[in-house]
Amino acid sequence: MRFMGSMLISLAVILGYWPAVHASTPFTVSNLFTNHLVLQRGMKDPVWGWAKRGQKITVTFAGHTVTATADAHGNWMAKLPPMHHSTTARDLTITSGAQTMVVHDVLVGDVWLCSGQSNMQYPMGGWFGRTNLAAALAKGTHQNIRLYHVPMIESNFSGTPKRQAAAAWHRCTPKNLAGFTAVGYFFGLTLHRALHVPIGLLEADWGGTNIEPWIPKQGFFAVPQLKAGQAWLRSMAKRQKKLNSRYLTAISAWLREARQAQAKGKPMPKLPREPENAIRSPHAYNYQIPHNDWQPDAHQNPTTLFNGMIHPLIPYAIRGAIWYQGENNVSSHDHLYYYHLKALIGSWRKLWKQGNFPFYIVQIAPFNYGNDPMEPLIWQAEEKAAWRIPNCGIASTIDIGNIKNIHPANKRAVGVRLAGIALAKIFHSGKTYSGPVFKSAEFNGNQVVIHFTDVGGGLLSRNGKPLNWFQLAGADGTFVNAQAQIVGKTVVVQSPEISNPTAVRFAFSDIAVPNLMNKASLPALPFQASKP
């Protein structure tokens, strides 16, 4: 009967009648706290885990001692006070009663989350035994850079997110670095060299994924424009409720049969298979109702990767996040990518409870998707997010892409550009961190004068050739290629085919490789504008 009792508790957990962490849970510490970790400087650092209800926990580090008590659900959390950065390897000690856990080689510095799809995931060791980063990898031993790589694990669409990731912190060595994000590494290395503080990098990415699975349920319902995602989540929640009800009926029947079999000394009947907490969709991109009730949902469905890969990291104290994703949403573009970014950034910040932490976006590189102008629309959405959402920034890759390869090789420049944003916006380096950004268009007869911000000391042609990828349109809305010339800190655009321009655009094609940049060698960002 003890076995059947435990089965009923398991059933109650599945149906939401029992806390996901039971009050009798043995003392456990989140596996974010392993040897070689980096704590975030200048912030209260949460240390958490699970224990029996009312159990006392003591956390000691660097002369600080804080305590916590496990709540009614068995959760506990202690917060270390803000600390200065430190390269001294020290022990973090966590004690509860007679149990003590000691975490060795703990540093204090800056921690960054690196997330997105394959261009973020692309590892220093390359794929299929090929890499252009072998020399950098061979030099990748850095005592004060630490790596934490979350495995690719999906979770359910609306149930209890995963509380832990099967990962651990590692020192930065060529061996540990080979499978780690190249963009994230070059970002962290640039910061480390500039700031001389320890850097911790949390990698959570999955190639070929849309943005929707990275957004938590709260994010979808916080942004009114995401009606399709909201409707899908509601329908899945209703369907899951029906599955749970069916399972409750099946398990009740099993209990009756089990008691009868036990009384007669017969073998126990086969236990009904528990339904998964989510449902697989064969058409994940369209969020269609699945046909197979008993399988976990595809990792492309809304919330799955947040629940499986991001939620286990919350609320670990971080300096901020870098994001390289969007290629998948080019092919499924629904004109909502800005709102998806808004939902993702807003919900991550809300759940982390660290305010508007820095969030820096990589503007995806040109690639011949064959569906112009879908990629430029993603570019516009990324720029809109960077300018409109507080404490965001954008690093363009329009000059370092490869229209024949969706995975451009120059990961170093991407990481360095992202780090440049952080150094300028957080640490006030004074260096230009953005290419020329469209400010306004002045329509004068047959000419359009473009004004920019972030000219970085002046405008240049990267290759010394005439400016390219500028286009004008007249009253009929048809765009034609135009000549463009740098005049001071402006660009003057005109075409003999358009006597009275009504619209102008720049680099508005997925195969655009424009040559306009500023004197900081950073490329101009794509734009389009119409006559008032």
Condensed to tens digits (0 to 9), the pLDDT of residues 205-229 reads 999 999 999 999 999 999 999 998 8
Q: Is the pTM of this model over 0.85?
A: yes
- Has residue 278 got a pLDDT over 50? no
Asked if the domains at 106-223+304-425 and 437-530 fall in one CATH topology, the answer is no
- Has residue 372 got a pLDDT over 70? yes
Task: Report the run of H or E that residue 130 belongs to, with start and end.
Answer: none
The Cα 530–Cα 501 span in angstroms is: 9
- Has residue 9 got a pLDDT over 70? no
Round the CA-based radius of gyration of the chain to a whole number and report it.
Answer: 27
- With cut-offs at 50, 70 and 90, classify the pLDDT of residue 298: low
- Give the three-class secondary structure for 417: helix
- Has residue 16 got a pLDDT over 60? no
The Cα 118–Cα 207 span in angstroms is: 4
Residue 496: cis peptide before it, omega within 30 degrees of 0: no
Which option is the CATH number for 437-530: 2.60.40, 2.30.30, 1.10.443, 1.20.120? 2.60.40
Query: Which residues, 6 or more positions from 233, have their beta carbon under 8 angstroms from its beta carbon?
Result: 157, 158, 217, 220, 221, 302, 303
Q: What are phi and psi of 116, to 5 degrees?
A: 140, -150
Are 45 and 68 within 8 A, CB to CB?
no
- Give the three-class secondary structure for 91: strand
The Cα 30–Cα 312 span in angstroms is: 9
Query: Which residues, 6 or more positions from 246, have their beta carbon under 8 angstroms from its beta carbon?
Result: 275
- Has residue 490 got a pLDDT over 70? yes
- With cut-offs at 50, 70 and 90, classify the pLDDT of residue 26: confident
**Average pLDDT score, the chain:** 89
Class (C level, CATH) for 106-223+304-425: alpha beta
pLDDT digits (tens, 9 = 90+) for 110-166: 999 999 999 999 999 998 878 899 999 999 999 999 999 999 987 654 556 889 999
Across the beta sheet with 75-80, the strand order is 28-29, 45-50, 75-80
Query: What is the model's pLDDT at position 115?
Result: 98
pLDDT digits (tens, 9 = 90+) for 190-199: 999 999 999 9
pLDDT digits (tens, 9 = 90+) for 513-528: 999 999 999 999 999 9
The Cα 417–Cα 142 span in angstroms is: 21
- Give the three-class secondary structure for 280: coil
Planar angle of CA 397, 402, 406, nearest 5 degrees: 90
* CA distance between the termini of the chain: 78
Q: Which residue has the higher pLDDT, 225 or 235?
A: 225
Mean pLDDT of 435-442: 97
Least confident of 235-249, 271-285, 400-414: 271-285
> Domain spans of the chain?
106-223+304-425, 437-530
Task: Report the run of H or E that residue 516 belongs to, with start and end.
Answer: strand 516-518
The Cα 458–Cα 464 span in angstroms is: 14
The Cα 114–Cα 358 span in angstroms is: 12
Mean pLDDT of 23-45: 91
Query: What is the model's pLDDT at position 19?
Result: 35
- Has residue 11 got a pLDDT over 80? no
- Has residue 8 got a pLDDT over 80? no
- Has residue 287 got a pLDDT over 70? no
Across-strand partners of 99?
Answer: 96
The Cα 86–Cα 290 span in angstroms is: 51
Are 381 and 337 within 8 A, CB to CB?
yes
* Position 121, amino acid: Q
Query: What is the model's pLDDT at position 261?
Result: 84
Q: Which residue has the higher pLDDT, 182 or 299?
A: 182
- Has residue 23 got a pLDDT over 60? no
